[in-house]
Structure 1
Amino acid sequence: MKSITIADVAKQSNVSKSTVSQYLNQRYQYMGEETKLRIENAIEELGYRPNIVARSLKQKSTTTIGVIVANILHAFSTQVIRAIEDVCHEHDFHTIVCNADDDPEKEKNYIEMLHAKQVDGLIIFPTGGNTALFKRMKKSQYPLVIMDRLLEDLAFPAVILDNEAAASLAVDHFVDRGYRSIGIMTTSITRNITPRVDRIKGYKKALEKHGIPVKDDYIRSLDLQHFEAALEEMLSLQAPPRALLAGNDLALMEILKFIKKKSLRIPEDVALIGIDDVSFASFYNPALTAVSQPAFKMGEKAAELLMKKIQDENGAIDEEVHRFEPELIERDSC
């Protein structure tokens, strides 16, 4: 089949190619309604579709950004993606989402692939690897916003929760409810993942603030497949914790699976608070107390920062870390 071009549309609607181009780019200021209607009808009759590649070469923009999440299984990640997509849609930008599975090599491949596709910028939840690659992007001033996690010794615009405050809110609530033997479980901190490390720091600081000794036996950061054994060991201690803080939604689900398997009662046998307000928290029995992240606001902020950088190449580079405040949602698990 012959490819339909702007020239064909111009001929069919009896206007110039530049007029068709103005119509396609929604520049209607000096275009009459009759002309617009003729072009619209010609496009419909001919089945014309703009050549996106050619347009991107001419405009030096693909109107597309990439989003690379460390682990798309996190409820927080999917909420942030939705907010990013909403902002991009308002700016007539498209979004390509990639899941790195907490694998630096996979993250590297996605960054290189998206560069090859000439996306205009990236929002990345870093896996904790690829320092050299991020340094190159920093040097080239490539439009990049860091989400949820920070990169050591590299200043990029970043959007992140105040993670120490999140853990502190949970510990404070436990203490207010009379608990003093409080444990924390989170996923692995092997690659110094910011939220996990900072939440443990916040947990320790909050205990010290309340005059409660920090016990190493009450702190676990490990891969999900090891959670059951770690919980078995922790809750079998001579003096086990009476309350547990789940460092993220994946940790929470592993703890809930263990509690169900062992027929434990919440909060009678063990009180529980999770960081991340999972979708089922309000109707779980008992309803789960949670520390909530403003995921949509954080996603919107990340997208707005990236749009500003893309659309204002000569503007000052905002390298600020934008920290958002958590909120405790009281329910029945504590």
Structure 2
Amino acid sequence: MKKITIADVATYANVSKSTVSQYLNKRYDYMGADTKKRIEAAIKALGYSPNIIARSLKQKSTKTIGVIVANILHVFSTQVIRAIEDYCNASNFHVIVCNADDDPMKEKRYIEMLRAKQVDGIIAFPTGENIDLYQGLLEENYPFILMDRLVPGVAMDAVLLDNEKAVHLAIEQFIKAGYKKIGMISPPMEQPVTPRRERMEAYKTALKKYGIEFRPAYLASGEITDMHIRIKEMLTLADPPEAILALNDRVLFELLQYTKDHQVQIPADLAIIGIDDVSFASFYSPTLTTIAQPAFDMGKKAAQLLFNQIQGDSRSETNVYRFAPQLMERESC
């Protein structure tokens, strides 16, 4: 079959090619209602479909952005993606989502793939290890926003939670409920992941604020696959913690599974607070006290910042936007 072109649409609608082009680009300012109807009817009758690649080359824009998440299984990640997609959809942009699994090599390949596809910009939850790659993007002035994490030594616009405040809210809640033997469990601390490091340091400073001695045995980290081992080691100490802060949602899942498997009663035997307000927190039994991140607001802000860069706003200075967490007080503490 012969491919239908703009010229075919123009002939069928008895208008010029430039008028059809204006219609396709939604420039209707000087276009009569009858002309619009004729073009619309011609497109429908001929089955015309715009050549997206050709239009992208002409406009120097693919109307597409990339989002690279560290781990798509996190509730926070999916909520951020949804907010970004909503914002892009309203601006007639498409989104390509890539899951890096906290793997620097996968992250590098995804960035290269997205650049090859000529996406207009990227929002990434960085691994923190591809420093030279990010520095090159910065020097190139390529539209790029960091989400949830920073890259050491690279001054890019970023959107993060106020991690220090999140941990302090949790520790304050534990203290308010009468707990002083407070532990924290985290994914691996060896990786340069901003929220983990900031929350670990905040945990220590919050304990100090309330005159509680930091006990290394009460701070555990490890891969999710081994998390039950770390939890068991902590809860079977001669003097175990009576309250635990789960650093993120996946750690919380493992902690809840452990308490179920070992008949640990919440909060009678162990008080729990998790950072990330998981969807089931309000109807789990007992309901779960959490520290909520404003994920949708953070995703929208990241999209706005990226669009500003795409539209040519100069980077006179770099900004890190910190969003306030919220304590969701329920029954687990």
Which residue in 1 is equivalent to 2:108? 108
Question: Partners in 1 of 2:198 and 2:113 — Cα distance?
Answer: 31
Q: Aligned partner of 2:147: which letter? A: M
TM-score, length of structure 1 as denominator length? 0.98
Instruction: Report the equivalent of 2:325.
Output: 326
Q: Is the 8 A contact 1:100 1:106 kept in 2?
A: yes
What's the counterpart of residue 290 of structure 2? 290
Residue 314 of structure 1 deviates from its aligned partner by 5.0
Q: Distance in 1 between matches of 2:231 and 2:321?
A: 35
| Pairing 1:236–2:230 present | no
Q: Find the counterpart in structure 2 of residue 164 from structure 1.
A: 164
Q: In the aligned structure 2, how far is the partner of 1:44 from the partner of 1:225?
A: 54
Q: Which amino acid aligns with 1:277?
A: D
Deviations 1:69-118 (A, max 9, x none): 00000000000000001111111111111111111111111100000000
Which residue matches 1:87?
87
Determine the structure 2 residue equivalent to 1:78: 78
C-alpha distance in 2 between matches for 1:29 and 1:279: 46
CA–CA distance in structure 1, aligned partners of residues 36 and 230 of structure 2 = 68
Could you say what secondary structure the match of 2:192 adopts? coil
Check conservation: 2:127, 2:192, Cα contact below 8 A. no
More displaced 10-residue stretch of structure 1: 226-235 or 57-66: 226-235
Tell me by how many angstroms 1:128 deviates.
Answer: 2.1
Distance 1:54 1:27 in 2: 19
Matches within 5 A, 1:248-327: 248-311=248-311, 313-327=312-326
**Letter of the structure 1 residue corresponding to residue 327 of structure 2:** L
Rounded to whole Å, the distance in 2 between the matches of 1:202 and 1:158 is: 20
* Structure 1 segment 43-192 matched on structure 2, within 5 A: 43-192=43-192
| SS of residue in 2 equivalent to 1:11 | helix
Question: What RMSD, in angstroms, separates the aligned Cα atoms of the two structures?
Answer: 0.8
CA distance in 2, matches of 1:209, 1:74: 30
Contact 2:129 2:151 in 1 (8 A): no
Assess if the C-alpha contact under 8 Å between 2:242 and 2:270 holds in 1: yes
- What SS does the aligned partner of 1:62 have? coil
Measure, in 2, the Cα distance between the counterparts of 1:179 and 1:58. Answer: 64
* Long gaps (5+) in structure 1: none
- The runs of at least 4 consecutive aligned structure 1 residues that moved more than 6 Å come to none
**Which amino acid in the other structure matches residue 320 of structure 1?**
N
Q: CA deviation at 1:155?
A: 0.6
SS at match of 1:71: coil
The answer to whether the Cα contact below 8 Å between 1:309 and 1:317 also exists between their aligned partners in 2 is no
Say which is worse superposed, 204-213 or 230-239, in terms of deviation: 230-239
Distance 1:314 1:125 in 2: 22
Shift of 1:316: 3.6
How many residues are matched? Answer: 333
Give, as a single letter, the amino acid of the residue that structure 1 aligns with 2:81: I
Tell me which amino acid in the other structure corresponds to 2:219.
I
AA partner of residue 196 (structure 2):
R
Secondary structure of the 2:84 match is helix
What is the CA-CA distance between 1:318 and the residue it aligns to?
A: 4.9
Partner AA of 1:20 in structure 2: V
Instruction: Give percent identity, aligned residues only.
Output: 58
Aligned-partner Cα distance in 2 for 1:281–1:161: 20
Q: Distance in 2 between matches of 1:235 and 1:264?
A: 10
Instruction: Please say if residues 166 and 327 of structure 1, whose CA atoms lie closer than 8 Å, have aligned partners that are also in contact.
Output: yes
Amino acid aligned to 2:2: K
Q: Distance in 2 between matches of 1:316 and 1:278?
A: 36
Distance 2:119 2:192 in 1: 29
**Offset, 1:130:** 1.2
The 1:26–1:318 alpha-carbon spacing in structure 2 relative to 1, beyond 3 Å, is farther
Aligned to 1:194: 194
2:3 aligned residue: 3
SS at match of 1:322: strand
Report the TM-score, using the length of structure 2 for normalisation: 0.99
The alignment partner of 1:254 has SS state of helix
Question: CA offsets, 1:214-258, max 9 Å, x none?
Answer: 000000121111111111111111110000000000000000111
Question: Which residue number in structure 2 is paired with residue 36 of structure 1?
Answer: 36
